[in-house]
Chains A and B, each alone.
Chain A
Amino acid sequence: MSSRVMLFAALTSLVAAAGACAQEGGGPGGEEELSVPSEDEFVAAERAPAGTLDLSVEGGVRGTFTLGGETLRFASVAREGRVYELTVKVRSTTLDATVDFENRTSSFDGFGSAAGEDVLYDEADRALVEALYRALNARGPADAPEAFVVLRRAVGVWSENPTTVPLGRLIYGDEGRGYTMLCSYAKCGGSFTGSCSSWNWFSYAKHDCNQGGFDNTRNQQIAQLGNHFTCSGDEFYWNGGGWTCGEPDHWSRPSVVGNCFGRCGGGCGGDTQYTLDATNHDGCVRNGHVLASGYCDDQFVSASDDELFAPNCY
């Protein structure tokens, strides 16, 4: 799913805030240029992730990610029985999770790093975590250790967590009771990737919105899942005479394709999980709502166990 507009805005705010803080401090030092990324620069950064990632994979995974003067620290510690203890420290907030990958159950949390109080997860925090997610996606090798994969998936969940969904929650699910795989729908012409000469439509990606419910045709999209076409908007949609890059806003059952529709994680993500709940989440955030829209909270919550535990399709 695409959230480039929101991320761009949040990063821009972050840079502006950094500038304001520097002004207030007024301390000595050399001239430091703070740059506000243009939209074009941002889109380019999305394809070649911004920031600096330092990663060590000895004894689990740990490292730092630096962007715009902010440094995130993260770790994934492996324990016996495919249990992983995950920590991401972003600004003054700690994101923490204990994941039992074998038994597909987990406990997620978020709190103030200094005093352990409940915190509000804001746009600036999320923008940094989303940038970390992109960096992890770019760096993750195909044979990445499980400690890395679990960390990346958890960071993917945090990168999409709306402010209106509490950070402290249990996430669990089994196939057929929590998540449903849609791998076959991610293929066209028998392939998960590449152009399509004909379509293998999934009907329908849907959300309940705040009116109309799941059965309202304006809350539904006819989707070709998979990694088949890419554009700088949320998706391609059929406008009656051709394909448009962008996003229909609650049209009645438009045909949509592109940018890994139906795949868990923001953008194309680092994994290849195509699931029913991820498809419905895309059907919400790519249908007139932003990535972390409060209107898509229930789709996000339903898709969280998919992202964490569903197997890759290929």
Chain B
Amino acid sequence: MTERTSLRRLAIPAAGVVLALALLALRGGPAPSGARPAPAAEAPPGPAPEAARAALGPAPAPEKALRGPEAAEAAAPERSMPPPDQIDRDAENPAIEPELPQTPEWKMGKTQQILRVVEARAARVEAEIGALEAEGKAAEAAERRVLLGRLRKQTEKMRAEIGRYTEQILASGGKVPEGGFGPDGAPR
């Protein structure tokens, strides 16, 4: 068998598998054996808002499809598993406190901190590019230049974010200290 024939022989079943998976996904897959029917029918999740979807690219992959091995295992669940009403009475679970609000001050502090770090990285990369070019390593220098461009783009976005946080803080009657905020949201 030639290589081309061999590849074709393997590619066709592969395409079949993909097609089968897609068909199963559309059908939602078989129900697990022995499973209780789902409660009153709820319309399956519809698509996300079209505008958002269009802006974000292709739709997500089809929802769950294959259940084959799961159905097989359903026939023999682990026998050591007790029913749900066997409660661990000795469990000690601390109260779950609501999280603190993610204030503009806190977000600004986190953004200012990572901005400093990314700027330092960009400066290092720039120096590396000079050194690589001096050594005649053009390909590596070009690769680093691509990275440098992206790092600069990130810092631009961070500065814009910081500007927005500043506006929010001032609009709510707050003040932005000269040194900005620390990564914990406290004034520097």
Contacts and interface: CB of A to CB of B under 8 A. Distances in A.
Given A170-B158, A200-B91, A218-B42, A16 B15 contact: yes
B63 A288 contact: yes
Contact of B110 (A32, A170, A212, A244): A170
B88 A243 contact: no
Interface in A103-155: 103-107, 109, 111, 113-116, 120, 123
Interface in B75-106: 77-78, 80-84, 86-94, 96-97, 99-102, 106
B85 to A, nearest CB: 8
Interface string A171-200: 010101110101011011110000111111
A12 B64 contact: no
Contact of B70 (A172, A231, A255): A231
Given A12-B21, A238-B83, A244-B74, A116 B64 contact: no
B77 A242 contact: yes
Contact of B57 (A163, A187, A210, A243): A163
A295 B48 contact: yes
A9 B82 contact: no
Q: Please tell me the size bucket of the interface on B.
A: 35 or more
Contact of A116 (B4, B70, B149): B149
A196 B69 contact: no
A160 interface: no
A255 B96 CA distance: 20
B11 A200 contact: no
A64 B28 CA distance: 37
A109 B150 contact: yes
Contacts of A292: 60-61
Contacts of B51: none
Given A16-B15, A107-B158, A239-B36, A43 B7 contact: no
B34 to A, nearest CB: 6
A30 B4 CA distance: 11
Interface string A8-40: 110011011001101100100111111110011
A240 B147 CA distance: 55
B86 to A, nearest CB: 4
B20 to A, nearest CB: 10
A243 B73 CA distance: 10
A241 interface: yes
Given A9-B18, A290-B64, A176 B58 contact: no
A96 interface: yes
Contact of A289 (B15, B56, B64): B64
A271 interface: no
A111 B146 contact: yes
A232 B69 contact: yes
B183 interface: yes
A250 interface: yes
Contacts of B42: 211-212, 218, 250
B110 A172 contact: yes
Given A19-B11, A163-B56, A170-B158, A245 B73 contact: yes
Contacts of A276: 96
Contact of A252 (B13, B21, B39, B81): B39
A199 B14 contact: no
Contact of B146 (A26, A114, A120, A200): A114
Contact of A294 (B48, B91, B113): B48
Contact of A177 (B18, B99, B113): B99
6 contacts: A15-B14, A29-B3, A177-B99, A188-B91, A232-B69, A245-B70
Question: Across chains A and B, which 8 residue pairs bring their CB atoms closest together, nearest first?
Answer: A16-B14, A233-B70, A19-B11, A294-B60, A246-B70, A103-B183, A245-B73, A200-B91
Interface of A: 5-6, 8-9, 12-13, 15-16, 19-20, 22-23, 26, 29-36, 39-40, 43, 79, 83, 85, 94, 96, 98, 100, 103-107, 109, 111, 113-116, 120, 123, 162-164, 166, 168, 170, 172, 174, 176-178, 180, 182, 184-185, 187-190, 195-201, 209-212, 218, 222, 229, 231-233, 236, 238-252, 255, 257, 276, 288-290, 292-295
